[in-house]
Amino acid sequence: MHKFVVEGGKELIGEIRISGSKNEVLPILAATLMTDERSIIRNVPNLSDVRLMLEILEELGCQTTFDRGTVTVTPYNLDRTQASYELVSQMRASFCVLGPLLSFRKKAKVSLPGGCVIGVRPVDLHLRGIKALGVNYDLDHGYVVADGSQMQGTRIFLGGNSGSTVTGTANIMMAAVLANGTTYIEQAAPEPEVEGLARMLNSMGAQIFGAGSHRIEIRGVDRLRGADYTVQPDRMETATYAVAAAITHGDLTLTNSKYENLIAFWEKLKETGTQVEQIASDKIRVRGGEINPTDIVTFAYPGFPTDAQAPMASLLSLANGISIVTDTIYPDRFMLIAELNRMGADIRKQNNSAIINGTKHLSGAQVMGSDLRATAALVLAGLAAKGETEVHRVYHVDRGYEQMELKLAKVGARIERAEYNPRRRKSDREAA
Ligand code: EPZ
């Protein structure tokens, strides 16, 4: 296993290039299943989640290449319509192959994804959507076994108790593209990643209107061409490195970035006293100043993104006052608290909120990552802590941040990746 060893206290100065978006590229790759022509996807980040999605596409009868940020996908065996538990259970977003398989290959057997530490993460809204489209399906031994041969466009309400669903909207939008007739998705997820997927599908010949809003219209078409699509910058990577500048009182320019799809995040970051300036259409300069407290409540886009609440919690643990961070999307997404408190933070969980009483400094410690964003947030805390921090289980970071330690070292961070063998308790060793 790998860990990051971080020596805190260095101000980060310089430029960080933002990679392509993980949460956009995963459904984009699934969409290449909707044609028998070759697709080219550019600005693809080299992440373990991306490599896993390519494995799933190969299991589904596609030949793939991935070279210097460009992926090609060439479907050659359309009879392969089963996505296995071994692969799907490792990454929830792989459930997004369901819609594409149903729309073009007319049948699918896809493992239900598991939950994860941030929540139960059901797929009931995805299933509500395909059922409304006329798909007959069974839940059989942990798989969705579905027949898409009779799909008919319809009006679908896709809202759940926690609001809209991002990958659910992606799945149903893809399922509807090749259905007979027109589909309307009400309370669709308006995230930029959904808008990007629609843009790519329309470049392949789809007829999608209103993506990026809460109502999407999809007029069914007969077939799609191969795609040639460039992935947009990763919003969450941008937010994470913006906090890196703030928490180290540094001065970072984030290049190949996009300001306008993180408005709620920038507003909150500025409230802490951080200086944020868009210096070009794809460049954002972030300078750390004092760290003032602020209150955050996460909402679906364009509200404050749940994926940015952990990095912000690390920053607010050093604020000169009390902050409250509430997650309305994932009420239990606070595994980070216990680890930050081991570094000297003073945070307590109350229902779906973290009450953060800012401290003057954090102390380096051995800490353990629990999920993608919490592990990134621990690296940020280590950059600011006094002394050395070891962040264990950095495979979480490798899922969604391309070469994080190299990007941070390039702007002055003292961080390196090291191997370690997770020690087992004596009793476990004896039992083994
Ligand atoms: C996407 O996950 C992102 N992942 C998540 O990012 C992000 O946190 C999440 O959207 C919310 O913005 C990708 O895009 C690959 P949802 P998704 O369906 O689509 C509930 C990261 O760190 N819900 O929008 O799986 C659900 O429990 C990851 O990059 C249902 O109840 O999330 C949650 O409370 C983590 N039934 C809320 O809706 C369903 O059928 C939003 O979930 C589906 C979802």
96 has catalytic annotation: no
Domain 22-230 classified CATH 3.40.47.10?
no
24: CA distance to ligand 1 center in Å? 13
Task: Indicate if the pLDDT at residue 342 is higher than 90.
Answer: yes
Torsion angle of the four alpha carbons 198, 299, 23, 117, in this order, in degrees rounded to the nearest 10: -140
Measured in whole angstroms, how far is the alpha carbon of residue 48 from the centre of its chain?
12
Q: Whose alpha carbon is nearest atom 20 of ligand 1?
A: 162
Q: In ligand 1, which atom is closest to the CA atom of 127?
A: 40
pLDDT per position as a tens digit, 305-330: 999 999 999 999 999 999 999 999 99
Given pLDDT bands bounded at 50, 70 and 90, which one contains residue 6?
Answer: very high
Mean residue pLDDT across the chain: 96
Least confident of 50-54, 93-97, 117-121, 377-381: 117-121
Nearest one of 203, 143, 197 to 175, comparing CA atoms: 197
* Nearest protein Cα to ligand 1, atom 14: 23
CB atoms within 10 A of CB 123: 19
How confident is the model at residue 428, as a pLDDT? Answer: 60
Question: Can you name the CATH fold of 2-19+233-426?
Answer: UDP-n-acetylglucosamine1-carboxyvinyl-transferase; Chain (3.65.10)
Strand 182-186 to strand 107-111: parallel, antiparallel, or no bridges (unpaired)? unpaired
128 CA: nearest ligand 1 atom: 40
Overall average pLDDT of the 369-395 stretch: 97
pLDDT digits (tens, 9 = 90+) for 95-140: 999 999 999 999 999 999 866 778 778 999 999 999 999 999 999 9
Categorize the per-residue pLDDT at 424 as very low, low, confident or very high, splitting at 50, 70 and 90.
Answer: low
Residue 346 is classified by DSSP as -
Return the residue whose CA atom lies nearest to atom 16 of ligand 1: 165
User: What pLDDT sits at residue 117?
Assistant: 76
The mean per-residue pLDDT over the stretch 399-426 comes to: 91
pLDDT reported for residue 422: 77
Quote the ligand 1 centre to 164 CA distance (angstroms): 9
| Inter-CA distances, 252 with 18, 58, 264, Å | 12, 39, 20
Which residue ranges have their beta carbon within 6 Å of ligand 1? 23, 26, 92-93, 119, 121-126, 160, 162, 165-168, 189, 193, 236, 306-307, 329-330, 372-373, 400
How large a percentage of the chain has pLDDT more than 70?
A: 97
Q: Which amino acid appears at position 10 of this protein?
A: K
pLDDT of residue 425: 61
Q: What is the pLDDT of residues 260-288, one digit of tens each?
A: 999 999 999 999 999 999 999 999 999 99
Q: Backbone phi, then psi, for 324, in 5-degree steps?
A: -125, 125
Residue boundaries of the structural domains of the chain: 2-19+233-426, 22-230
What is the distance in A from the centroid of ligand 1 to the CA of 28? Answer: 16
Residues 411 and 422: their CA atoms lie apart, in Å, by: 30
Q: Is the dihedral of CA 93, 45, 18, 418 positive or negative?
A: positive
pLDDT tens digits, residue range 71-97?
A: 999 999 999 999 999 999 899 999 999
pLDDT over 60 at 61, yes or no: yes
> From CA 300, how far away is CA 57, in angstroms rounded?
29
Q: How many Å lie between the centroid of ligand 1 and the Cα of residue 211?
A: 17
The atom number, within ligand 1, closest to the CA of 191 reads 12
Angstrom distances, CA of residue 110 to CA of 53, 63, 389: 13, 20, 40
Q: Taking CA 260 as the corner, what is the angle to CA 401 and CA 161, rounded to the nearest 5 degrees?
A: 75
pLDDT over threshold 70, residue 356:
yes
The token duo for 254 is 């984030």
Count CB atoms within 10 A of the CB of residue 77.
10
pLDDT at 243 > cutoff 90:
yes
**Among 21, 164, 165, 372, residue to substitute to test ligand 1 (most atoms within 8 Å of Cβ):** 165
Cβ-contact 108, 143 below 8 angstroms: no
Peptide bond into 302 cis (omega under 30): yes
Alpha carbons 108 and 89: distance in angstroms, whole number: 16
Ligand 1: which of 130, 169, 329, 396 to mutate, most ligand atoms within 8 Å of CB? 329
Gap from CA of 163 to ligand 1 centroid (Å): 10
The DSSP line for 118-186 is TB----HHHHHHHHHTT-EEEEETTEEEEE-TT-B--EEE--BTTB--HHHHHHHHHHHHTSBSEEEEE
Judged by DSSP in three states, 19 sits in: coil
Q: How far apart are CA 205 and CA 184, in angstroms?
A: 18
What are the φ and ψ backbone dihedral angles of 255, each rounded to 5 degrees? Answer: -95, 165
pLDDT band at 431 (very low <50, low <70, confident <90, very high): low
